[in-house]
């Protein structure tokens, strides 16, 4: 808690900018009570003596002494607060101007405007939470579906941190074991001990791999399944996007080549966040703008998790075969079944093919079911109850895995323990970075700058 003494007191509006019933302002730092006390006049006694964790009525005064607003304040004394520092929260009326004036008064009384995420950063620096929990705060705020929300709150509760700390303990005990041999240079690692050590290396590698395997799911929960609708012009791609979104998001027209740019919209499909992407139809064309759109379609397809290949089933399949979707899972969707099926498609009895009409809405439920099934049913790894790492965790753990494999190979080859220990330590550091064992300014700056103000 040395931190508390050295840092400035920060203030921010924690509720969204705009007109509302109430707005919440937050102050954190050693001088939080002092600053708030200069601005707020409480009904009874002194501000500094206010009972913690109770709501108190107060008047906020402007610099000229006039009353700015009638507010409620609560005081949270260090270390029993969100940030681990003294915290004051002020609930004022939620007008844009009045909120701004209360903040100005606090800034004028000695607080500094907080950077995005600075409150949570302080919570982390004061040991209130590890880095995975701090990141979960933003995941929770940004969660768009129940599954994403559940994953974020598990992470906030420290589940991921626990698993990572388990890995750290394993690595630490391996380091201790290997380094013990450094201190006794005459002693070789005997074959039995060597074999037992290797087995422990393998178990730790397995645990690392299990966590790394959750990266895909983590990305989907945070960013949504990248679902690309593609096909030839005029088959109904934009109509499908609109039907799934529930309103007219993309322009639908009988003129082929209308969609030139990719259109994105997030939907919640049975709890699964889906990032739907409508694309320009694939065909040969001389129009440079349309061609740029088509190039973008191919690019988008290459990064898709799921591709919905749409065809107009009232027409025979054309010879202009669209580009293959790369590595993505694909579902073939026959549209316009209200117009009747062309003979080729009638014969197409594959149960994996979904038949829909964007015009009548027929088959859209079946399509949703097929999408859910393909995403969660093993085609993409999916286990909503488990931890799901983010891209930063993935980078750290991949580095840890690399170092650990090098250490294992060195041990197996009978290399001197010093070298094995060196790579083991590198693995340990990389795993430590996930929970924030090393707090380099740069890493923290990157993480917390993505936060909302006042959080």
Ligand X SMILES: Nc1nc2c(ncn2[C@@H]2O[C@H](COP(=O)(O)OP(=O)(O)O)[C@@H](O)[C@H]2O)c(=O)[nH]1
Q: Which residues bind ligand X (CB under 6 A)?
A: 233-239, 252-254, 258-259, 281, 335-336, 338-339, 357-359
Nearer to Mg ion, 169 or 287 (CB): 287
- The CA distance from 425 to 45, in Å, is 56
Extract the tokens encoding 376. Answer: 């969660």
Least distance (Å) between residue 278 CB and ligand X: 7
CB 52 within 8 A of CB 124: no
Least distance (Å) between residue 234 CB and Mg ion: 8
Residue 403 binds which entry of ligand X, Mg ion, none, with Cβ cut-offs from 5 to 8 Å by kind? none
Residue 84 binds which entry of Mg ion, ligand X, none, with Cβ cut-offs from 5 to 8 Å by kind? none
Residue 390 binds which entry of ligand X, Mg ion, none, with Cβ cut-offs from 5 to 8 Å by kind? none
Nearer to ligand X, 3 or 298 (CB): 298
Least distance (Å) between residue 306 CB and ligand X: 18
- Where along the sequence are the contacts to Mg ion (CB under 5 A)? 237-238, 259
Residue 455, SS3 per DSSP: coil
- The CA distance from 28 to 39, in Å, is 15
Nearer to Mg ion, 165 or 335 (CB): 335
Residue 239 binds which entry of Mg ion, ligand X, none, with Cβ cut-offs from 5 to 8 Å by kind? ligand X
Cα dihedral 229/261/337/350 (nearest 10): -20
Place of tokens 């994996």: 352
* DSSP notation for 45-63: S-GGGPPTTS-EEEEEEPT
The alpha carbon dihedral of 446, 447, 448, 449 has a sign of: positive
Nearer to ligand X, 254 or 350 (CB): 254
Residue 121 binds which entry of Mg ion, ligand X, none, with Cβ cut-offs from 5 to 8 Å by kind? none
Least distance (Å) between residue 146 CB and ligand X: 30
Residue 253 binds which entry of Mg ion, ligand X, none, with Cβ cut-offs from 5 to 8 Å by kind? ligand X
Nearer to ligand X, 155 or 239 (CB): 239
For the chain, what percentages of helix, strand and coil (3-state, to nearest 5) are there? 45, 15, 40
- Is 73 exposed, middle or buried, given 0-12, 13-18 or 19+ CB atoms closer than 10 A? buried
Least distance (Å) between residue 274 CB and ligand X: 18
Residue 322 binds which entry of ligand X, Mg ion, none, with Cβ cut-offs from 5 to 8 Å by kind? none
Nearer to Mg ion, 309 or 455 (CB): 309
CB 218 within 8 A of CB 389: yes
Extract the tokens encoding 21. Answer: 């019933």
Least distance (Å) between residue 237 CB and Mg ion: 5
Helix boundaries (H) for 303-390: 343-346, 364-376
Nearer to Mg ion, 218 or 281 (CB): 281
Least distance (Å) between residue 312 CB and ligand X: 8
């Amino acid at each position: 808690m040395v931190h508390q003494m050295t840092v400035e007191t920060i203030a921010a509006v924690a509720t969204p900018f705009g007109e509302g019933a109430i707005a919440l302002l937050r102050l954190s730092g050693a001088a939080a009570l002092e600053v708030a006390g200069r601005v707020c006049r409480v009904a009874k006694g002194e501000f500094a003596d206010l009972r913690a964790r109770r709501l108190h009525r107060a008047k906020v005064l402007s610099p000229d002494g006039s009353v700015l607003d009638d507010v409620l304040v609560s005081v949270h004394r260090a270390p029993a607060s969100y940030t681990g520092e003294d915290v004051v929260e002020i609930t004022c009326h939620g007008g844009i101007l009045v909120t701004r004036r209360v903040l100005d008064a606090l800034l004028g009384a000695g607080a500094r405007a907080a950077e995005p995420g600075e409150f949570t950063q302080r919570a982390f620096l004061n040991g209130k939470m590890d880095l995975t929990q701090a990141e979960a705060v933003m995941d929770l705020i940004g969660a768009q579906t129940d599954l994403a929300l559940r994953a974020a709150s598990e992470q906030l509760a420290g589940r991921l941190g626990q698993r990572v700390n388990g890995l750290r303990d394993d690595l630490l005990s391996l380091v201790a074991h290997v380094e013990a041999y450094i201190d006794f240079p005459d002693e070789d690692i005997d074959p039995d001990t060597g074999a037992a050590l290797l087995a422990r290396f393998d178990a730790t590698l397995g645990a690392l791999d299990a966590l790394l395997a959750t990266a895909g799911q983590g990305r989907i929960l945070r960013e949504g399944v990248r679902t690309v609708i593609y096909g030839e012009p005029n088959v109904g791609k934009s109509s499908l996007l609109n039907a799934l979104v529930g309103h007219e998001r993309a322009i639908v027209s009988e003129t082929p080549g209308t969609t030139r740019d990719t259109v994105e919209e997030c939907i919640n499909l049975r709890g699964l966040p889906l990032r739907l992407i409508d694309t320009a139809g694939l065909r040969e064309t001389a129009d440079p703008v349309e061609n740029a759109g088509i190039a973008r379609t191919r690019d988008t397809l290459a990064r898709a998790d799921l591709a919905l290949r749409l065809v107009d089933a009232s027409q025979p399949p054309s010879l202009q075969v669209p580009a293959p979707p790369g590595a993505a899972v694909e579902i073939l969707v026959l549209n316009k079944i209200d117009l009747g099926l062309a003979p080729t498609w009638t014969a197409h009895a594959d149960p994996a093919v979904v038949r829909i009409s964007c015009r009548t809405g027929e088959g859209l439920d079946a399509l949703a079911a097929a999408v859910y099934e393909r995403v969660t049913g093993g085609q993409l790894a999916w286990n909503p109850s488990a931890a799901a790492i983010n891209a930063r965790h993935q980078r750290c753990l991949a580095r840890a895995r690399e170092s650990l494999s090098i250490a294992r190979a060195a041990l197996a080859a009978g290399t001197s323990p010093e070298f094995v220990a060196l790579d083991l330590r590198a693995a340990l550091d990389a795993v430590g970075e996930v929970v924030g064992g090393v707090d380099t300014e740069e890493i923290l700056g990157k993480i917390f700058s993505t936060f909302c103000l006042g959080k």
